[in-house]
């Protein structure tokens, strides 16, 4: 089974190619506002370096949110375009689930964090048992009162640098684990695919998390 994972819900623009349990190739750019111009360049390069053909894909997994409004639309539109051309399914993967999967802990309580707007963060409780994750409802928290929202002991992963954490039973994942990975989107999507958990293609939309509010353009000097 050949599976493509796409992550564009965050400042990271990433793609990964997975066959069964083996990662063939992955590319990541941790640069803002390049998703529209660089995503298909990354995908084309991915297949060339892995010596595979896009026509051999069985499914496409895409990070579905919450996250960046623009990034989510770019990722889902790209995934739908590929899937339509190849007549294969699109697997929507909750962004927080894929991020939590990166946490280096076999058991315990996890909280993946993604930056929202206005000094807010998306997170959700994840209970892990022998590497099997069960995620709760998404909530929005503020950095100054984040400890009040968490059950301890726990590990945090993702956008954690500006959180006010002093509780001795709240641990931060190692730095190498925080950058969003398309591999974990692909792995999570593959599991959903094998379970038969497929969404209706025509009604598939991003999980924005908040209503979109257009910002006023800055005045030119």
In the prediction, which pLDDT does 210 show? 60
In the prediction, which pLDDT does 48 show? 95
pLDDT digits (tens, 9 = 90+) for 151-192: 999 999 999 998 989 999 999 999 989 999 999 999 999 999
In the prediction, which pLDDT does 217 show? 37
Task: Evaluate if residue 82 carries a pLDDT over 70.
Answer: yes
In the prediction, which pLDDT does 104 show? 95
Model confidence at 21, in pLDDT bands (50, 70, 90)? confident
Residue with tokens 């564009």: 8
Burial 200-221 (b: 16+ CB within 10 A, else e): eeeebebbbbeeeeeeeeeeee
In the prediction, which pLDDT does 63 show? 96
More confident position, 202 or 210: 202
Task: Evaluate if residue 92 carries a pLDDT over 90.
Answer: yes
Task: Evaluate if residue 79 carries a pLDDT over 60.
Answer: yes
Rounded Cα–Cα distance for residues 203 and 112 (Å): 27
Phi, psi of 95 (to 5 degrees): -60, -40
Tokens of 194: 């094998």
Residue with tokens 């992963």: 157
Task: Report cis status (omega within 30 of 0) of the bond before 66.
Answer: yes
Sign (positive or negative) of CA dihedral 147, 149, 155, 159: negative
Using alpha carbons only, give the angle 147, 165, 122 rounded to the nearest 5 degrees.
60
Rounded Cα–Cα distance for residues 71 and 87 (Å): 24
**Radius of gyration of the chain from Cα atoms?**
17
Tokens of 122: 């998306």
Task: Evaluate if residue 211 carries a pLDDT over 70.
Answer: no
Task: Evaluate if residue 3 carries a pLDDT over 90.
Answer: yes
More confident position, 198 or 49: 49
Task: Evaluate if residue 127 carries a pLDDT over 60.
Answer: yes
In the prediction, which pLDDT does 221 show? 38
Task: Evaluate if residue 219 carries a pLDDT over 60.
Answer: no
In the prediction, which pLDDT does 205 show? 84
């Amino acid at each position: 089974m050949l599976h493509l994972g796409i992550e564009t819900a965050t400042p990271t623009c990433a793609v990964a190619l997975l066959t069964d349990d083996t990662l063939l190739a992955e590319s990541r750019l941790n640069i803002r506002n390049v998703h529209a111009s660089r995503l298909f360049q990354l995908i084309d390069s991915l297949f060339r370096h892995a010596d595979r053909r896009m026509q051999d894909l069985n499914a496409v997994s895409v990070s579905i949110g919450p996250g960046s409004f623009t990034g989510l639309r770019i990722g889902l539109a790209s995934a739908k375009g590929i899937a339509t051309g190849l007549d294969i399914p699109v697997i929507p993967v909750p962004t927080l689930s894929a991020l939590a999967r990166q946490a280096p802990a076999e058991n315990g309580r996890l909280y993946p964090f993604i930056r929202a707007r206005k000094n807010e963060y998306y997170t959700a409780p994840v209970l892990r048992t022998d590497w099997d994750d069960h995620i709760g409802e998404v909530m929005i928290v503020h950095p100054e009162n984040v400890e009040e929202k968490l059950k301890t002991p726990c590990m945090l992963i993702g956008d954690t640098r500006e959180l006010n954490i002093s509780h001795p039973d709240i641990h931060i994942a190692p730095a190498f684990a925080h950058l969003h990975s398309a591999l974990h989107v692909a792995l999570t999507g593959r599991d959903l695919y094998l379970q038969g958990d497929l969404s209706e293609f025509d009604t598939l939309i991003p999980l924005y998390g908040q209503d979109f509010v257009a910002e006023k353009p800055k005045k030119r000097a």
